[in-house]
Structure 1
Amino acid sequence: MLRGSGSLGVSRVNTKKLLCRASSGQAPRYDVDKMMAKYPIGLEANGFKVQRVVVVPEFSLTAVELSHERTGALHLHIDRDDKNNVFGIIFKTNPPNKTGVAHILEHTTLCGSEKYPVRDPFFKMLNRSLANFMNAMTAHDHTFYPFATTNKIDYKNLTDVYLDSTLKPLLREEDFQQEGWRLENENLKDKESPLIFKGVVYNEMKGQVSNSSYFFWIKFQESIYPSLNNSGGDPTKITDLTYWDLLDFHKQNYHPSNSKIFTYGDLKLIDILEKLNKNFKNFGKRSNKNIVKKHMPLLESKNIIIEGPIDTMVPLDKQFKTSITWYAGDPKDVYNTFLLKILSTLLNDGHSAPFYQELIEKGIGIDFSINSGVESMPEINLFTVGLQGLNEENSNKLEEIINDILIKVIEKGFESKRIQAIIQQLEISKKMESAEFGMNLLYSLIPGWVNDVDPLEMLKFNETIAKLNKDFIKKGDKIFIELIEKYLIKKPNFKFSMKPAENFQDLIIKEEQLRLNSKIKNLNDNEKKLLYERALKLENLQNEKEDLKCLPTLTVNDIPTRGDFVKVDVNENNITNSKCYKRFSPKTNGLTYFRALKTLGTEIPVDLIPYLPLFTECLTNLGTTDKSMSELEEEIKLYTGGISSSVSVSSSPFNIDEPILRFVLTGVAQNKNFNSVLKIWNTLLKETDFEKNLSKLSILIKSLANDNLNEIISSGHSFAKSYSSSKFSSKAVIDESLNGIKQVEFLNKLNKWNEEGLLLEKVVPNLIKLQELIVNKDNFRIMLTCDESIALTNEKLADDFINGLPSRTGKINSDKPTWSSLLLPSTLTKGSRFKNLIEIPSQVNFTSLSRPGIPYVTKDGASLQILSQILTFKKLHKEIREKGGAYGGGSSYDAINGIFNFYSYRDPNPTNSLQQFNDVMNNYIDKSFATTESFALLEEVSDDSLITTRDLDQAKLSIFQQIDAPISVREEGLNYFVHGINDQIRQERRDHLLNADLNDIKSAAEKFLVHGEGPTSEVIIGTLKDEDSKLISKKSGWNKVKLGVFD
């Protein structure tokens, strides 16, 4: 998997349900008696009755469980002093088959309701709200609809929309066809063009199954838990779903009796209950038919082998994925499940873990498989150890190898220090606050809650840790040895393997064509005519002007004119020539957060830039001359809450042609152990030994190169944007080398050298050179976030850390050329146009079109950011998603780096999307800005042809959702520390955004998009259909890049 940083610290056992802390800070002692008196058991209000109350002082929260008397709906309310209030409604939705009915219903539910009878009120609320989170998701046996906002009116508005959308949706057949699937002429302007499958979810899932790790995981789930059908939908089965099936599934499942409601924050519970009761009161009580699905009996070991796609970035002889799974008890036993997760951490995570040492380090596989670890299914815990990147021989022997390792573990046991380190990590993570505490809590509780696991038991963190400490004192590592003996050793297991099929993609295409032929072979001319007319009807509906007055909305007046800024003190040390940024906060809960940032100049040769991500990973994965990585990792986990290193680049906020490359170190520890963070970093920076730890380097490169294809398929639009903008921005050229397709190609090259035994010759010297260039005291600045009482001590320790680094050797030649002159293509001229097709095996595509913008501090930069939101909501969502069938699409503006991007995601029609992007620049913008006289007539009517002040205001709301979203204490002041954007600059930017009018937006659009003389860059990532391939030819200026070295 492609990674951008090296890190060590909090381990895989950091389950969200236990380890999140919110931003309420180090408050006075939580008053348990007061909270119990606030919610007396048996209290009745607005149709609800309080059933149970649990106070959790360690998280300063009170959990209140209620039931709705009339319908039986269950409601869990978390009372907490946190203004980031959360709402979620959850339905148990066991899918009856693999047609994706639950997933498609999730989409169509949000396409209009009785109270809000407009197309897609969910999407339209995205720019009528200040919510920092809005979504809807389908899991394997439940569907949920959450949001989070700090605005009380917003909370009320969104609760209304969510409840009406889920309980009283319109579920029009046209929405089913748009969001689910349909048969339609490929070209709507030509009724003789061939019929093909279209639909948003259909294309979304085609994209999902193009990811080999997802394909392995979903086939594993279907095999080991066959009663749980594929809720997302198997593309080969989605086209069997009928509209009537959808209506029936909603009728059966979307009822208050089958729902659970989660609310969190500082809002009054009585007001929330009133809203819920108003929506529930016309429903009666149903018996719950949505039972917990039973698992398959595993009385003897089973072995399943399937075929899957080849990963062209992995050696051809290492294409197998194989896992071994055991049943491991009932998820309702919360403590036992907790212990299993710690056991999984002991066995799998880190350089001292037996499975890592014996399976990864010894080359049995490249990395653990996606299903490795402990997963709580509806009725059983699954304990899985799996690998990817195996050859056939090791795949066949994996069960035997794992069994031998477990026998050795039982004989040898676990070192006490490793267990103590995990407990230490748990204690630190309890203190680490999170701005998304409420949402994280919702996500962690739901899977168990819908399957009868007690959510109140899952909240009792201190009780769980206290029991673990008591058992550890009494029994030591036998707690975990007994789990191995009880569930794993000599017990029936489920072996699941996926072997490569060279013609897999061809089989997928052939299957779709056969399925399509079976749908259309018996259609007569009249039926084909009806399909064509139905498609035109859908298109007319998509183009229809709507009256949107029914939708609730906030206004620009709800956005504070003044930003919420925090004080950051800055001291300069003349001895070390470094700066120390200090953020004092009582919300640190006895922790110190540390960041060290070094600005890298052109002393870093261009050819070494791609090595920087590998260099940062090496620091926390190789080891030093005197210490193994296992020994170092033990220190890190015993004395810190984790450390990490990374490299990043951005443009100057004052000049987009000035790239700033940064090397960053981070760490967190309890105040008493802060010096341990610095000592460990001092050791790693100075003494990491690349040559001595060559075998570790080999393992690391294999791991980094592994799964990159799946990473691209998962986030293809981001890769497309990066590659596209790298053709004219020096910052983007560097970023592409560090994180984009170029980095993937680079890792592929390193991995090939790795296979050929050339690391010592070709790679190690470059890493040593980077160590010499980076590890010195020049150009460092430090940021400390801690309590003020410890600040002076911490600052002295940090100064000593910088001063203890070596001085730079040699002088930098100030006459060296800039990165801009070194990196940008010599052919770059005004009006240049770049077109690149990145070929990867995928059923869907990703696109981007990029244009250069202007620096962060400018008024036009703010206008371009607003414009990107207007174009997304006003034009592109409809053209790319609703009509084009892509899972997502729109435009965005990278404010710091000054790049305007158009993009599409999981797109079946990439050339059409690029045509839409060009049409927006060449035609739409020039004609779409409404005149002053027409504004009043258009304010509440959806008219895609004109951009009005209403669109302007809604774009501002969508931008400030993220600008004003709550952040954790460790993120406070980072804009100033990293980018030099102080409060004055942030406020000026805020003023530019709030004060921009339509003339400003139009002027910026004309300057940079319509009449802009800057270069344009277009990218497609994927596998094109024949029709698209004809358009993408060398004659039209397209350059083709085939990604992969082992194909």
Structure 2
Amino acid sequence: MQTIKPGDSIHGFTLVSVSDQEEYKGKGYTFKHNKTGMELFHLHNNDTENLFSFSFKTPAYDNSGVAHILEHSVLSGSKQYPVKDPFMALMKGSMNTFLNAMTYPEKTVYPAASPVEKDYFNMMSVYADAVFFPLLKKEVFHQEGHRLEFDDEGHLNIVGIVFNEMKGAYSDHDSIVGEWCYRSLLPDTQYYYDSGGEPEAIPDLTYGQFKEYHETYYHPSNCKVFLYGNIPSEKQLQFLEDKFLNTFEYKAVNTEIREQKRWNKPYSLELTSPLTENEKPEGKSTIALNWLMNDIGNPLELLSLEVLSEILLANTGSPLYKAVVDSGLGEDLSPVSGLETDVRELIFSVGIRGTDPDKKEAFEKLIEDEFLNLTKNGLLPDIIRGALKRVEFRNREIKGGAPFGLRLMGKTLRGWLHGYSPETTLEFTRWMEKLKTSVTEDNRYFEKLIEKLFVQNKHRSTIIVRPDSEHTTKQEEALNLRINNIQTTLNKEKEDLIRKDNETLRIFQDTPDSEADTLKIPSLSLEDLPRDITYINTDLLHIGDIPVYSHDLFTNGIDYVDFSFDIKGLSEEENSFLPLFTKIITSGSLPDIPYNEVARLLTLNTGGFGSFLESALVHPDRNLVRDIAFFRVKFLENDYKKALDLIFRLFTESKISEEKRLKDVLTEMKNDYISAIIPSGNAFANLRASSRLSETLRREERWRGIDQLLFLNRVNEDLGSDSLKKIGDILET
């Protein structure tokens, strides 16, 4: 980047500040657009995987889901790229490593990443045109949002992509729990509304309101642009100014989140969730306790709460996690438990799953007593040290699967969106060092936090979500009443208009984009692709008869070790037990160490120990199938001896037939599968359908598909001592 200093202007922007970002091997440049006031932050370093995002503060003022529908709709044709789906057209000629859009409770984000510069600017051009100059055709609103439609028998229905998506979300028990954990605490604010939309409210949104929301909030004056990587700032500023921003002027946009008045006593709320016809409601409810914490703009307190959440809930040996599981009040810890950082004021939740509503008072007392016990008797130093190390590990780790810049974007937006500098919630090392100093100087640092934020904090909600066989019926009745009221008021003119709108939509959907418009979507050619191939060096050595493959790569001081075991020759029943077997190995006990203490040692000495099963055809014999169980451990370089000693003990000495632990793990696995069905239904359906096509996919289905869920349901029907002993015997062999 050329030498400019704060206060200098370049390509329509003024440089506001420069910050050293040594932990990310770069510098942070904050710019402000002179005409619109749009803020832009570039974390510039040598990473070739560049990322950009356009983020808009989009608070909800009702449950119509307008922000969610807009997120779908802006990527359905724009001024420069007037095709129906530029998103998919762009992907066909791109080497992107990320291309998506997301709606949050108070923001909508459009990120994309690529290691190829031309590809990067292609995506930025399409995305910028989409968010600032979308066509927002009425047909798109009807397609993505909602519309009235007659079926073959002449009955009126309400349909639409977002409408159907949210019907699915509100038919999932854990989704309902997670939604109301934060909404129940913030009734005076915009967070009380569902930005994704409630099915009964989505049809209230008009096309005019939809367009007005975009006109109000999708303006550069309400946009935060995050850039990451090695492309020079000047080049990106010029691109944005010349192609998109120069036609805009400043616009005042009111996006203030109303302040929540603090309560002087806790509040309770009971909700229902669907229950299938043959299910019984007993033992199927969730109870969750939720606390409203402080504003996200205090980075030390934010990090302190992240570490405290790790202390309390990170693993089966954590005090709050263990108290819930051992209480006998329900089956296991609810997946909603933990710290919520995607809202302006932090929220902490702890819940129990597989319980009954009448356990509410007992669960509240359990959690209250555990917090009082922790403040009185203190936390074990090893638990605190392990949590600090785990949080530091997580922030140091360069994870695969998504661009590194995407994670940094999320951290930056936490505070930046609410008026703080971009660095406030981005920087980690400085605040971790300060936290360590505070903990060293005050050996009751976290106990005092528990006292302040949990024991003395009256702004707490308890939500009960109980399955109800009439839940879906009542929703359908309300929807049918709405439809009937509409249908009874329809005259022929209105009916014809509905049919005309649907015919217009059908024609819109069925008519191919013109070749001229399709060619407007930028794409890479063969000449644009990198010519240099990145090779990963592999060294092979042997420890006895065991081959060891080593890859010397930069991993920021973290070592990764995979252990692979050939698992051929197992019966079908034994194969079905494999997921349980590998889970027990990674979370079980040793002859002299109980499971909760093993979990604590894993937290203290590793960054994680997990497992996965793979089935693959062996080259060159396409008829030979190899099944392998992988165990993966990661740890800091200095901890390798303690980490590997513990892992080898778990491989050779695990008490895999311990009845209580078997029961807990089986219940947890079943509940996790049930919770995953609705959010990931398409993945389960795809795997089940494709399992008929090959032996490898058939095994995948048995290990992590519907077959595994059915198997777990059968096993969980009888978890008496005799049955658990038989299961233990199978695992031992």
Q: TM-score range by the shorter chain?
A: over 0.9
Q: Where do residues 560-599 of structure 1 align in structure 2 (5 Å cutoff)?
A: 560=530, 563-573=533-543, 576-585=544-553, 587-599=554-566
The equivalent position to 1:216 in structure 2, one of 177, 180, 184, is 177
Deviations 1:714-736 (A, max 9, x none): 11122112212223422222111
Q: Which amino acid aligns with 2:528?
A: D
Partner of 1:942: none
Q: Which amino acid aligns with 1:529?
A: D
Deviation, 1:661, is: 0.8
Distance 1:407 1:678, change over 3 A: same
The equivalent position to 1:472 in structure 2, one of 427, 439, 446, is 439
Q: Does 1:301 align with 2:266?
A: yes
Q: Does 1:487 align with 2:453?
A: yes
CA contact 2:15–2:30 (8 Å) conserved in 1: yes
Cα distance in 2 for residues equivalent to 1:757 and 1:516: 53
Cα distance in 1 for residues equivalent to 2:109 and 2:635: 36
Between the two proteins, the alignment pairs up a number of residues equal to 723
Distance 1:246 1:388, change over 3 A: same
Cα distance in 2 for residues equivalent to 1:623 and 1:350: 13
Cα distance in 2 for residues equivalent to 1:298 and 1:286: 36
Deviation, 1:757, is: 4.2
Partner of 1:244: 208
Partner of 1:626: 592
Q: Secondary structure at the match of 1:470?
A: helix
Partner of 2:617: 651
Q: Does 1:345 align with 2:310?
A: yes
Deviation, 1:378, is: 4.0
Distance 1:673 1:312, change over 3 A: farther
The equivalent position to 2:648 in structure 1, one of 679, 682, 690, is 682
Cα distance in 2 for residues equivalent to 1:323 and 1:506: 25
Q: Where do residues 104-253 of structure 1 align in structure 2 (5 Å cutoff)?
A: 104-187=69-152, 193-226=154-187, 227-228=190-191, 229-253=193-217
Deviation, 1:475, is: 0.7
Deviation, 1:689, is: 1.2
Q: Does 1:266 align with 2:234?
A: no
| 74-83 or 39-48, which deviates more | 39-48
Distance 1:409 1:66, change over 3 A: same
Cα distance in 1 for residues equivalent to 2:177 and 2:501: 37
Q: Does 1:80 align with 2:45?
A: yes
Rg larger in structure: 1
Deviation, 1:90, is: 0.6
Q: Secondary structure at the match of 2:227?
A: strand
Q: Does 1:537 align with 2:507?
A: no
Q: Which amino acid aligns with 1:619?
A: I
Cα distance in 1 for residues equivalent to 2:11 and 2:529: 32
Q: Secondary structure at the match of 1:64?
A: strand
Partner of 2:412: 445
Partner of 2:725: 761
Q: Secondary structure at the match of 1:753?
A: coil
Partner of 2:423: 456
Partner of 1:552: 522
Deviation, 1:671, is: 2.9
Q: Secondary structure at the match of 1:387?
A: strand
Cα distance in 2 for residues equivalent to 1:646 and 1:147: 29
Distance 1:489 1:310, change over 3 A: same
Cα distance in 2 for residues equivalent to 1:156 and 1:728: 40
Q: Where do residues 925-964 of structure 1 align in structure 2 (5 Å cutoff)?
A: none
The equivalent position to 1:673 in structure 2, one of 632, 636, 639, is 639
Cα distance in 1 for residues equivalent to 2:3 and 2:576: 58
Q: Where do residues 609-620 of structure 1 align in structure 2 (5 Å cutoff)?
A: 609-620=575-586
Cα distance in 1 for residues equivalent to 2:526 and 2:159: 38
Distance 1:74 1:728, change over 3 A: closer
TM-score by length of 1: 0.67
Partner of 2:466: 499
Cα distance in 2 for residues equivalent to 1:272 and 1:561: 24
Cα distance in 2 for residues equivalent to 1:658 and 1:509: 51
CA contact 2:412–2:423 (8 Å) conserved in 1: no
Q: Secondary structure at the match of 2:548?
A: strand
Distance 1:103 1:611, change over 3 A: same
Cα distance in 2 for residues equivalent to 1:647 and 1:313: 33
Q: Which amino acid aligns with 2:223?
A: S
Q: Secondary structure at the match of 2:169?
A: helix
Deviation, 1:314, is: 8.5
Distance 1:657 1:165, change over 3 A: same
CA contact 1:293–1:378 (8 Å) conserved in 2: no
CA contact 1:100–1:231 (8 Å) conserved in 2: yes
Q: Which amino acid aligns with 1:658?
A: L
Q: Which amino acid aligns with 1:665?
A: F
Q: Which amino acid aligns with 1:196?
A: N
Partner of 1:708: 673
Distance 1:426 1:324, change over 3 A: closer
Deviation, 1:759, is: 3.7
Cα distance in 1 for residues equivalent to 2:144 and 2:74: 10
Deviations 1:19-76 (A, max 9, x none): xxxxxxxxxxxxxxxx9x9552222101111112211212212111111111110111
Cα distance in 2 for residues equivalent to 1:495 and 1:430: 32
Cα distance in 2 for residues equivalent to 1:280 and 1:67: 12
- In percent, how many aligned pairs have the same letter? 27
Partner of 1:284: 249
Deviations 1:279-332 (A, max 9, x none): 112211122311123225322211111122237999742122111122222211
CA contact 1:56–1:459 (8 Å) conserved in 2: no
CA contact 1:184–1:196 (8 Å) conserved in 2: yes
Distance 1:151 1:532, change over 3 A: same
Q: Does 1:514 align with 2:484?
A: no
Distance 1:617 1:151, change over 3 A: same
Cα distance in 2 for residues equivalent to 1:112 and 1:564: 36
Distance 1:394 1:565, change over 3 A: same
Partner of 1:364: 329
Distance 1:54 1:685, change over 3 A: same
Q: Secondary structure at the match of 1:292?
A: coil
Deviations 1:549-603 (A, max 9, x none): 2222212443457753322122345xx3221111122x1333322111112221x
Instruction: Please provide the CA RMSD for this pair.
Output: 2.1
Deviations 1:863-888 (A, max 9, x none): xxxxxxxxxxxxxxxxxxxxxxxxxx
Q: Which amino acid aligns with 2:202?
A: I
Q: Secondary structure at the match of 1:50?
A: strand
Partner of 1:640: 606
Distance 1:86 1:213, change over 3 A: same
Cα distance in 2 for residues equivalent to 1:345 and 1:153: 42
Partner of 2:54: 89
CA contact 1:132–1:149 (8 Å) conserved in 2: yes
Cα distance in 1 for residues equivalent to 2:186 and 2:483: 30
Partner of 1:821: none
Q: Which amino acid aligns with 2:102?
A: M
Cα distance in 2 for residues equivalent to 1:453 and 1:292: 14
Distance 1:710 1:646, change over 3 A: same
TM-score by length of 2: 0.94
Partner of 1:393: 358
Partner of 2:385: 420
